[in-house]
Structure 1
Amino acid sequence: MPDTVILTRRDGHVAIIELNRPPHNFFDVDMIARIADELDRLQDDKTCRAVLLQAGGSAFCAGADFSRRDGAAAPRSASRINPIYLEALRIFGFGKPIVAAIEGPAVGGGLGLALAADFRVSCTEARFSANFNRLGFHPGFALSYTLPALIGKQMAAWMLYTGTRVDGARAREMGLVDFIVPRDEVRAAALALARELATSSPRALQSTRQTLKADSLSHIRNAIARESAEQAVQFAGPDIAEGVRAMAERRPPVFAD
C-alpha cells in the first residue's frame, strides 16, 4: 500500500490526519493501522495537543469494501478479534482529543471511525448509516457501544436495525454530530475547534478527558469482542452474500427465513 493512504501535516499544536483513498475512502486493516500508528506517535509528541481527522474525496469513510473478498477482514473463529477492530482499539485508546470533519457519507465502519472522535463537525449534505444488519451481519467497530452511548439506545436501535441513512440536519438533532456548518466550511470550522481545544492546558485537558471517558475503553473492548464473535459466525452464513449482492444491485435484500 502506498504511504499516501493517509496524509499528515501540522497546524501549530493541531495534528491533521487525512484519509486519502478517494472517492469513498474504504478502509482495510492497513489503513486503520496507519491511523493508529500516527496516533501512537502523536501521543508521545508533547507539542501535539489535539488531532483533526478529515478525508479527501466525496465520502468521509464508507467502511469496508465488500466488493473485495478480503474487504471485511473477518476473524476466522469466534474466539478471535476482527483484525480491523484490534487496530481500532488503538485509536479508541488515544489520550488526546480528536475532532472529525465530516463532509460526506460516514457508513458502516466509517461511522464507527467517526464516533472514535470526541467531536464531529459536519454539514447537511453528509449521510450517516450503520448498515450492517441490512448487509446481513452484526454491527462492528464498537458501534454496539459507542452509538447508544452517544444518541441513546432507542435511536441507536433504530439506526442499527434498519441501516437507515440519516442526513446531517437529523444527525445534529439526534446528537450524532455536534456542529453543522455549510459544506465548504466544514474543514475550517473543525480546525477552529481543534485549535480552541489546543489552547487549554494540555495536562488539564487530557486528564479531564480521561475522567469523562472513565471506563468507556473497557466497554469498547467488550463490545468489540462480542461483535467479532457474532461476525465470525454470520460471515460464514448465507445472509451476507445476499446483503452485499442487494447493495451492489441497489435493491432491498431478500433474506431467507
Structure 2
Amino acid sequence: MAFTSIGVFEGGAVTTVEIQRPPNNFFDITLIEEIATAFEAADADPGVRALLLVAQGKAFCAGADFSRRDVGDQRPGRHLYKEALRLFRTRKPIIAAVQGPAIGGGLGLACMADFRITCPEGRFSANFTRLGFHPGFGLTATLPRLVGPQQAALLFYTGRRINGEEAVRLGLADQLVPQAELRQAAAALATEIAQSSPLGLLATRETLRRGLADAVEQATERELVEQDWLRKTADFQEGVRASAERRLPDFQGR
C-alpha cells in the first residue's frame, strides 16, 4: 500500500510509524487505515518485535478537523471506528511518543498504545463535552483502564487539558523527558522491549490486553450512537464554533 499520511521506517526489531500531517496531524479514516495497515504488516514480520508511533509537527494528533464537511457524515464515522479497532487487534507492543497535543480522538489514538512517552509540552485532553459531543475512539474503555474510573470521569466531564507532568502523575503517560530527547527515549524503550523473548512477549501482552479489543468494540458502538444524535444538536455547532474562536461555548441544552 502506498501511504499518503504516514511514513514507515524499519530499524531492525523496531519499526517506526510516523504521522505526517503537520502541524496538527488531524485524523480521518485514511490516516487510521494507513496506521492499521502498517501495524498489521509489522505483525506479519517475525523480525519486528516492537512498534514506535511518532508524529511530525507541533501536535501528536489534535483530533478531528471539524472544519471539514465530511466529519459529520455518519458512514465515515462507522468506518473510522472499524479501522480504529484494527489497531487494538494488532499483537506487538506499541510505544507512542507524544510531543504536543493529543486531543479528542488523538488522545484515543495515544491511549491505544501500550506506553506513552511525553514531555512538558505534551497536552492531553478528552475535550468532547466542551464541544457538545460524546467521547469516541474507544476512550470510554481505554481511559478508565489507564487512570481509573474517577479520574477518567473528571477528564471527560470537564474536558480539561493537562500537561505532560500531570499526565505522568495520573498514569496517562509513563515517562517524562525533555522534548528534544523524546524520540530517543521512546526508541530506547522500544529497543529494550524488543530484547525480550518474542514468544514470551507476545504471550504476555495477549494475557494483559485480553478482552481489550472486544471492550473497545463494544464501547465504540455505544459512542457512535451517542455521537450521531449529538452531532445534530445546536450545542454541537456552538461547541465547534467556540473551539475555533478560542472562547467558552454558550451551551443552551438543545
TM-score, length basis structure 2: 0.96
Q: Pick the aligned partner of 2:236 from 222, 234, 240.
A: 240
Q: Pick the aligned partner of 2:136 from 128, 135, 140.
A: 140
Partners of 1:82 and 1:252 in 2: CA distance: 30
What SS class does the counterpart of residue 69 from structure 2 fall into?
Answer: coil
What's 1:167 paired with? 163
Tell me the matched-pair count: 252
Partners of 2:124 and 2:219 in 1: CA distance: 20
Partners of 1:96 and 1:136 in 2: CA distance: 36
Q: Which residues of structure 1 form unaligned runs of 5+?
A: none
Q: Which residues of structure 2 form unaligned runs of 5+?
A: none
What SS class does the counterpart of residue 52 from structure 1 fall into?
Answer: strand
Partners of 2:78 and 2:129 in 1: CA distance: 17
1:99 aligns with 2:60: no
What's 1:50 paired with? 50
Give the alignment of 1:13-162 within 5 angstroms.
13-71=13-71, 73-75=73-75, 82-162=78-158
What SS class does the counterpart of residue 22 from structure 1 fall into?
Answer: coil
Contact 2:88/2:213, CA 8 A, preserved across alignment: yes
| Percent pairwise identity | 51
**Runs of 4+ with >4 A deviation:** none
Q: Pick the aligned partner of 1:196 from 169, 192, 209.
A: 192
Residues 131-185 of structure 1: per-residue CA shift (max 9 Å, x gap) = 1111111100000110011101111111111110000001110000000001100
Contact 2:88/2:212, CA 8 A, preserved across alignment: no
Contact 2:3/2:34, CA 8 A, preserved across alignment: no
Letter in 2 for 1:250: R
- Structure (1 or 2) with the greater helix fraction: 2
Q: How far 1:74 sits from its partner (Å)?
A: 3.4
Residues 9-29 of structure 1: per-residue CA shift (max 9 Å, x gap) = 011100000000000000110
What SS class does the counterpart of residue 115 from structure 1 fall into?
Answer: helix
Q: How far 1:3 sits from its partner (Å)?
A: 3.1
Q: How far 1:84 sits from its partner (Å)?
A: 1.3
Letter in 2 for 1:19: I
What SS class does the counterpart of residue 95 from structure 1 fall into?
Answer: coil
What's 1:8 paired with? 8
Q: Pick the aligned partner of 2:227 from 231, 236, 244.
A: 231
TM-score, length basis structure 1: 0.95
Q: RMSD in angstroms over aligned alpha carbons?
A: 1.3
Partners of 1:73 and 1:189 in 2: CA distance: 39
Letter in 1 for 2:252: A
